[in-house]
Amino acid sequence: MSLEVTPRTLPLDGWHRARGARMVPFAGYSMPIQYEGIITEHRWTRERAGLFDVSHMGQLAIAGSGLDNALERVLPGDIKGLKDGRLRYSLLLDAGGGIVDDLMVTRRGDGFYLVVNGATKAADIEHLEEELPRGAVVDHMREQALLALQGPAAAAVLARQAPGVDALIFMQGGAFRLGDVPAWISRSGYTGEDGFEISIDVRHAEVVASLLADEPEVRPIGLGARDSLRLEAGLLLYGHDITRETTPVMAGLTFAIGKRRRAEGGFLGHERVLGELQQGPVARRVGLRVEGRQPVRDGAAVVDDEGTEVGSVTSGGFSPTLETPIAMAYVPAHLSTPGTPVKLASRGKVYAATVAPMPFVPTRYKR
Quick: pLDDT tens for 54-77.
999 999 999 999 999 999 999 999
pTM exceeds 0.75 for this model: yes
CA–CA distance, 227 with 31 (Å, rounded to integer)? 13
Quick: pLDDT tens for 313-364.
999 999 999 999 999 999 999 999 999 999 999 999 999 999 999 999 999 9
Is the pLDDT assigned to residue 231 strictly greater than 60?
A: yes
Quick: pLDDT tens for 100-144.
999 999 999 999 999 999 999 999 999 999 999 999 999 999 999
Percent of the chain at pLDDT > 70 equals 99
Strand order in the sheet with 137-140: 87-93, 99-108, 111-116, 58-63, 137-140
Architecture category of domain 282-356 in CATH: Beta Barrel (2.40)
CA–CA distance, 106 with 332 (Å, rounded to integer)? 35
**Residues in a beta bridge with 283:** 332
Please report which residue ranges of the chain form alpha helices under DSSP H. 13-18, 38-47, 67-74, 121-131, 154-161, 205-213, 223-232, 259-264, 270-279
Mean pLDDT over the full length of the chain: 97
pLDDT for the residue 225 = 98
Domain boundaries, the chain: 8-52+143-232, 282-356
Percent of the chain at pLDDT > 90 equals 97
CA–CA distance, 86 with 367 (Å, rounded to integer)? 12
Q: Largest alpha-carbon pair distance within the chain?
A: 64
Instruction: Categorize the per-residue pLDDT at 3 as very low, low, confident or very high, splitting at 50, 70 and 90.
Output: low
SS3 248: coil
Pick from 205, 201, 200, 185: which is nearest to 108 by CA? 185
CB 159 within 8 A of CB 187: no
Q: How far is CA 167 from the centre of its chain?
A: 23
Average pLDDT over residues 89-99: 98
Amino acid at 45: T
**Residues in a beta bridge with 78:** none
Dihedral sign, Cα of residue 269, residue 254, residue 236, residue 199: positive
CATH for 8-52+143-232 (3.40.50.1100, 3.30.1340.30, 3.30.1360.120, 3.40.50.1820): 3.30.1360.120
